[in-house]
Chain A
C-alpha cells in the first residue's frame, strides 16, 4: 500500500477566480479565446444550422417546458452562433442582423450564460435528431470553456473542479478516510452470507482491473461499492481500488476547461500504470465513463492499458457464465432502465445494461424512449452542480418522470450517480412510485454464491 495521508492533487492549491458579471475586459478576452476553440466539429456545428427546427421536440427542456420557446435547442445554440457569425459569417460583415449575427456584448453573453450553462445538459439528443449533424455536446462545451476561462462559470461547478484539482477527488475525501471507508465496506460485505472471504483490495499491484468510483459512493452510497465488490468477488475478478486516484469523475468535462480535464485524466492514467493494471474499470457513472473511456486517451495522448466499465464487465461475466443469478429475488417488482446520455448516446453502451437486468429480474419494461433515443433525466452536463438553475432542472425532468411512470415500474435502474440524484428528485417531485437503483444493486442480491 502507498503511504497514506500524502498530498494528492496539485502541488499548489488553487481557487479559480470566478465572476458574477461579464465585464468589457472579460468580453474582450472571450473574443481572443474564440478562434482557439474552433475545431472542425465546433465550426461545422456553428455554421451548419439551417434553423429547420427539427431538434425542437428532441430536447427534454423544450419538451418538458413547452411554454418557454427560448429553450428549443437552436435558440439556445444561437446565443453562441450569433457571436460566431459576427466574426466569421461573410454576409454578417455587411448585414449582421440579416443573418442573425450579433457582436458579443454583455446582453448576449448573459444569454449565453443562462442558456448554455443552465439550459443544456450537453446530452446530444438534439444532435441525433439534427439532419445537419450539429454536435451540441462539442459546441456547448466550447462555449462553456470560453466563459469559464474568463471566470463566468457557475460557482458550485467550479468549486467541484477546484476541489478535484486541490485534493485529487472532487469531494476532498482524505486518503486515510477513504481507505478506512473501503475497509469498513469490506467488513460489511464479509458479514453477508456466503461472502466471508470476499475482499476489496486496495493498491494491489498487478491486479487485472483498476476499479474507479464516484466520490458520492464512499461519501453517501457505500452500499453501491459493496454491491459492485460483491459481484466482482462472486465472479472471481481480480480487481483493486487505488488509495490515490480512484475518483473517475471529471467535472472539467462540464466546465470546458481542457487543461484541468487533462490533468485529472493524467493522474488517473499514472495511477493505473503505478499499479500495473491491465484495465482501467469505470464504475457506474455516466460522465465518468465517457471521460475515461472516450476522452482520457485523447487528453493524455493514448494509454498503455485498456479501458472498460463495470456495466460491460458485468454483462460479460453473465454471458461467460461466471456468475449465476436467481431472479426470484425480485419477484413482484417491475424494473425500467434509464440510459444515461454519456453511457448510451455518447458512450455506445446500450445492450450490456439490459443483459445485466434480464439476468436479475423477470419483469423489465422499456421506457418509450430508450437506448440512444433516451431523454436526458435533466441531471447531466453538471446541472446538479448549478443550484442557481435548480427549478429549471426539475421542470426539465418532467418528460423522464412521465416516461418512468408510464412503465408502471417500481424500480428505476440507472448507471450514473448524477442520474441517481436527479431521478430521485424528479420521482419525488412528480409523485412517481419508484425506487432508484444502480445495476450492481439490482444484481448483487440475486447472486447464487
Chain B
C-alpha cells in the first residue's frame, strides 16, 4: 500500500514524531537512571533458591496468568489486559509502519490491527466504567488514571477509523491527522503519566523475583531442600 500524503502530514508523521520519540526516550533514560542509582537491599543470607532464576521467572509473570491468584480467578480480566496491551503495541506500531514501511500494511495486516484496536476500544470503555463504578477502584483512582485510560480509548478509536480510511486508499484524511497528532501528544505525555509503568515493571518484577526466588518461595528449584536432604 502506498503512502501518498501531503508534505504537512509527512512532517507530522516523520520529523515531528521522531522528535517526540527522542524526547520520550530521553525522559525514560533519566527515569531508569534515577531508579538504578537507588541502592539494592543487600542479601547476605544463605540462599535457598536462585535469585537470577527467580527474577527471570518473575519477569515473565505477565505471560503466566496462573501464577497469581488475582489473574487465576479473573481470566476474563487477564484476557482484556492481554488484548489491551497487544493493541497498544500495534497502535503505536502502526504510527511507524504507515510512514516507514507502508507496503507491510496490507489490507489483511491492517484489519488485524483494526481488530485489536476495536477490541481495545471496547475494553477501554469497560475499564473507564469500572473505574467510575466499582467502589474499591474508584477510591484509588486519580485524575491521571481516568485521563490515561480515556486517552488510550480515544487513541484506539481514532486509530481504528484512520486505519479504515487507510485501507480504503485515503491515507491523508483528517482522521490520520488526529491519529498522528494524538501519537505525538502521547509520546510527549507518557513519560510523565502512569502509562509509563512498563518502564517500572522490570524493576518491580526483578525485585520480587530476586527476593522471593532467593528465599525459595517462588522458585521451586530449591537447592538442598530440607524435605529432600542428600
Q: How far is the CB of A259 from chain B (nearest CB, A)?
A: 16
Is A352's CB under 8 angstroms from B227's CB?
Answer: yes
- Residues of B with Cβ closer than 8 Å to A? 35-36, 38-46, 48-49, 58, 61-62, 68-71, 73-74, 77, 134-137, 139-145, 147, 191-194, 197, 200-201, 203-209, 211-212, 215-218, 222, 225-229
Given A50-B197, A319-B229: A347 touches B141 (CB 8 Å cut-off):
no
**Across the two chains, which residue of chain A brings its CB closest to B58?**
A133
Question: Contacts A301-B44, A307-B45 given; 14 further ones with Cβ under 8 A?
Answer: A40-B203, A40-B207, A51-B141, A56-B137, A78-B140, A91-B192, A130-B70, A132-B205, A133-B61, A133-B205, A133-B209, A298-B42, A348-B215, A351-B227
Given A43-B38, A348-B217: A48 touches B139 (CB 8 Å cut-off):
no
Q: How far is the CB of A387 from chain B (nearest CB, A)?
A: 28
B222 in complex: contacting residue of A293, A345, A348, CB < 8 Å: A348
Is B139's CB under 8 angstroms from A45's CB?
Answer: no
Q: How far is the CB of A248 from chain B (nearest CB, A)?
A: 15
Is A97's CB under 8 angstroms from B69's CB?
Answer: no
Q: How far is the CB of A43 from chain B (nearest CB, A)?
A: 5
Is A132's CB under 8 angstroms from B192's CB?
Answer: no
A48 CA to B192 CA, complexed, in Å: 13
* Subset of 6 A-B contacts with CB under 8 Å: A51-B141, A100-B144, A131-B70, A298-B41, A319-B229, A350-B217
Given A48-B201, A352-B226: A70 touches B41 (CB 8 Å cut-off):
no
Is B197's CB under 8 angstroms from A307's CB?
Answer: no
A75 in complex: contacting residue of B39, B134, B139, B147, CB < 8 Å: B139
Q: Assess whether A62 is interfacial by the CB under 8 Å rule.
A: yes
Is B192's CB under 8 angstroms from A297's CB?
Answer: no
Is A135's CB under 8 angstroms from B208's CB?
Answer: yes
B68 CB contacts on chain A under 8 angstroms: 54, 128-131
Q: How far is the CB of B123 from chain A (nearest CB, A)?
A: 13
Is B41's CB under 8 angstroms from A312's CB?
Answer: no
Is B226's CB under 8 angstroms from A312's CB?
Answer: yes
A40 CB contacts on chain B under 8 angstroms: 35-36, 38-41, 203, 207
A291 CA to B73 CA, complexed, in Å: 33
Is B207's CB under 8 angstroms from A98's CB?
Answer: no
Is B208's CB under 8 angstroms from A316's CB?
Answer: no
A256 CA to B39 CA, complexed, in Å: 18
Q: How far is the CB of A106 from chain B (nearest CB, A)?
A: 21
A10 CB contacts on chain B under 8 angstroms: none
A72 in complex: contacting residue of B136, B192, B216, B227, CB < 8 Å: B136
A345 in complex: contacting residue of B39, B48, B49, B217, CB < 8 Å: B217
Is A302's CB under 8 angstroms from B38's CB?
Answer: no
B134 CB contacts on chain A under 8 angstroms: 53
Q: How far is the CB of A213 from chain B (nearest CB, A)?
A: 21
Q: How far is the CB of A294 from chain B (nearest CB, A)?
A: 5
A62 CA to B191 CA, complexed, in Å: 32
B77 CB contacts on chain A under 8 angstroms: 54
Is A315's CB under 8 angstroms from B44's CB?
Answer: no
Q: Assess whether A134 is interfacial by the CB under 8 Å rule.
A: yes
A70 CB contacts on chain B under 8 angstroms: 139
Q: How far is the CB of A299 from chain B (nearest CB, A)?
A: 9
B192 CB contacts on chain A under 8 angstroms: 90-91
B211 in complex: contacting residue of A75, A99, A135, CB < 8 Å: A135
Is A57's CB under 8 angstroms from B70's CB?
Answer: yes
Is B38's CB under 8 angstroms from A48's CB?
Answer: no
Q: Assess whether A346 is interfacial by the CB under 8 Å rule.
A: yes
Q: How far is the CB of A131 from chain B (nearest CB, A)?
A: 7
> What 10 A-B pairs come out closest when comparing CB atoms?
A133-B204, A100-B142, A133-B208, A348-B216, A129-B70, A297-B44, A40-B38, A348-B215, A44-B203, A54-B70
Is B215's CB under 8 angstroms from A347's CB?
Answer: yes
Is A306's CB under 8 angstroms from B139's CB?
Answer: no
Given A40-B39, A100-B144, A135-B208: A316 touches B226 (CB 8 Å cut-off):
yes
Q: Assess whether A355 is interfacial by the CB under 8 Å rule.
A: yes
A307 CA to B226 CA, complexed, in Å: 13
Is A298's CB under 8 angstroms from B44's CB?
Answer: yes
B145 CB contacts on chain A under 8 angstroms: 51
Q: Assess whether A211 is interfacial by the CB under 8 Å rule.
A: no
A99 in complex: contacting residue of B61, B144, B209, CB < 8 Å: B144
B36 CB contacts on chain A under 8 angstroms: 40
Q: Assess whether A74 is interfacial by the CB under 8 Å rule.
A: yes
Given A40-B35, A50-B194: A69 touches B44 (CB 8 Å cut-off):
no
Is A51's CB under 8 angstroms from B194's CB?
Answer: yes
Is B45's CB under 8 angstroms from A38's CB?
Answer: no
Q: How far is the CB of B70 from chain A (nearest CB, A)?
A: 4
Q: Assess whether A39 is interfacial by the CB under 8 Å rule.
A: yes
A133 CB contacts on chain B under 8 angstroms: 58, 61, 201, 203-209
Q: Assess whether A143 is interfacial by the CB under 8 Å rule.
A: no
Is B69's CB under 8 angstroms from A98's CB?
Answer: no
A41 CA to B55 CA, complexed, in Å: 13
A51 in complex: contacting residue of B137, B147, B217, B228, CB < 8 Å: B137
A306 in complex: contacting residue of B46, B208, B218, CB < 8 Å: B46
